């Protein structure tokens, strides 16, 4: 009997994963849409209905193992419309939508699910999802990825069922809520087939903590210069990874980044999880530096160095990737402008409602959850508190200046009360 997989989501991530599950597991794959409330989701449903397939292509030939097309076994028009039995439930939506998504699925479906895969969780998502499912499916296994496997996009808005993966991560971490997991083995084998190195760790929250954006995005996106660019725009482009004044990176920003890393490390230690050597993770698993820029002993000793040396090394790391140090210079000696990633400004969706870009809104949710973990564990997080307060103040200021704009809920400070309750329940049972 074929494995049956239900993917919650209809975006590029969902399509790429669906193709992989079909190609390597010979699974029957169904998708769940929000076509009754989302114009983008409805376009996906209509496109699949007309074409009869979803398709994944790649930008680079070395990633051909990710390509393929498949016919979904079903594309449900809404969460409530889902029926049938599924072996694996894949949450390919943003982490802030996990609990709301699960609560809209029929209990009869959830009761039959053996395992749930969290594709892009935050630190604590595994606890939250298990607590949310406790009364419906207390024995469910929840598996967390450190992050999504790559960078996948829709390249033609008229064909949302066809996606392209532009790049693949260097390394992923997987962690399960159960000690012995057939699905962990299965997923590790799948990722091995596409040449993606995997480390299976003993605790799901360890896997969730192996995502550098948790540590660096709040400082990069929740500073006054970045918030100005996001909410009000700038006369010329303002770049996420450049030094001030081309971008937000200053010594103060680096100080805030290091402080947040320390606070997350304290939370992990309280949960008996090994903290991250942030510098090593950045250099080895994100973007490498030339050995002339920084010696390996500094990277290895990073956690034991004085604070001022840690901040110096983090600053050097960002200067070392202002250009792509491994690119070929042009005739004038200029290397690829690696750091020229502009801040995205707030924009209107197809329904005319103003929305905040995924960065920083997704980072806001993630950081609130980390703050909630700290509070539940009685760990002070003064830097995280400052970053969140700064972001929420920017929301309130924008709302007071633009009271008549049609805005999404993203523009209002949120407590995420359901998820915070789940954190408390999850930690009590941990």
pLDDT for the residue numbered 353: 96
Q: Which residues belong to the active site?
A: 217
pTM of the model: 0.97
Element (H, E) at 208: helix 204-209
> Residue 213: in which H helix or E strand, if any?
helix 212-221
Instruction: Report the chain (430 residues): mean pLDDT per 10 consecutive residues.
Output: 95 98 98 88 95 97 98 96 98 97 97 98 98 96 98 96 97 95 96 97 98 98 99 98 99 99 99 98 95 96 98 99 97 97 96 96 99 98 99 98 97 98 91
- Exposure of 243 in the CB half-sphere (CA atoms within 13 A): 11
Question: CA-to-CA distance for 360 and 224, rounded, in angstroms?
Answer: 13
Nearest alpha carbon to residue 369 among 421, 420, 413, 414: 420
Averaged pLDDT score across all residues of the chain: 97
What pLDDT, on the 0 to 100 scale, is given for residue 37? Answer: 82
Q: Strand, helix or coil at 430?
A: coil
37 phi and psi angles, rounded to 5 deg: -125, -10
Q: Residue 257: what pLDDT?
A: 99
Check if the beta carbon of residue 175 is closer than 8 Å to that of residue 144: yes
């Amino acid at each position: 009997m074929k494995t049956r997989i239900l993917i919650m989501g209809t975006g590029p991530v969902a399509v790429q994963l669906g193709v992989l599950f079909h190609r390597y597991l010979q699974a029957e794959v169904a998708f769940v849409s929000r076509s009754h409330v989302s114009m983008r989701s409805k376009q996906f449903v209509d496109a699949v209905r007309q074409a009869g397939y979803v398709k994944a292509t790649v930008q680079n030939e070395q990633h051909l193992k990710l390509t393929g097309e498949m016919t979904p076994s079903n594309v449900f028009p809404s969460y409530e419309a889902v029926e049938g039995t599924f072996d694996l439930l894949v949450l390919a939506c943003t982490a802030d939508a996990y609990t709301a998504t699960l609560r809209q699925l029929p209990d009869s479906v959830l009761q039959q699910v053996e395992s749930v895969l969290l594709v892009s969780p935050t630190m604590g998502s595994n606890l939250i999802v298990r607590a949310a499912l406790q009364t419906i499916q207390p024995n469910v296994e929840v598996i967390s990825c450190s992050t999504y496997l790559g960078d996948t996009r829709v390249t033609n808005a008229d064909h949302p069922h066809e996606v392209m993966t532009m790049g693949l991560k260097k390394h992923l971490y997987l962690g399960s809520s159960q000690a012995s997991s057939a699905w962990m083995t299965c997923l590790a084998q799948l990722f091995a087939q596409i040449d993606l190195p995997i480390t299976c760790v003993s605790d799901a929250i360890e896997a969730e903590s192996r995502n550098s954006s948790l540590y660096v995005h709040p400082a990069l996106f929740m500073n006054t210069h970045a918030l100005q660019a996001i909410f009000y725009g700038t006369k010329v482009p303002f770049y996420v990874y450049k030094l001030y004044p081309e971008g937000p990176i200053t010594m103060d920003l680096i100080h805030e980044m290091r402080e947040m890393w320390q606070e997350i490390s304290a939370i992990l230690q309280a949960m008996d999880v090994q903290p991250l050597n942030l510098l090593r993770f950045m250099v080895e698993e994100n973007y490498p530096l030339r050995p002339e820029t920084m010696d390996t002993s500094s990277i290895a000793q990073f956690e034991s160095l004085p604070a001022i040396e840690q901040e110096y090394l983090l600053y050097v790391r960002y200067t070392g990737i202002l250009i792509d140090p491994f690119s070929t210079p042009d005739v004038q000696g200029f290397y690829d402008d690696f750091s020229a990633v502009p801040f995205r400004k707030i924009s209107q969706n197809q329904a005319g409602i103003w929305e905040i870009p995924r960065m920083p809104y997704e980072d806001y949710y993630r950081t609130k959850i980390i703050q909630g973990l700290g509070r539940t564990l009685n760990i002070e997080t003064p830097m995280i508190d400052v970053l969140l307060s700064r972001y929420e103040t920017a929301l309130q200021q924008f709302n007071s200046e633009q009271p008549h704009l049609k805005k999404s809920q993203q523009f209002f400070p949120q407590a995420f009360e359901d998820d915070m309750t789940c954190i408390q329940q999850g930690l009590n049972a941990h």
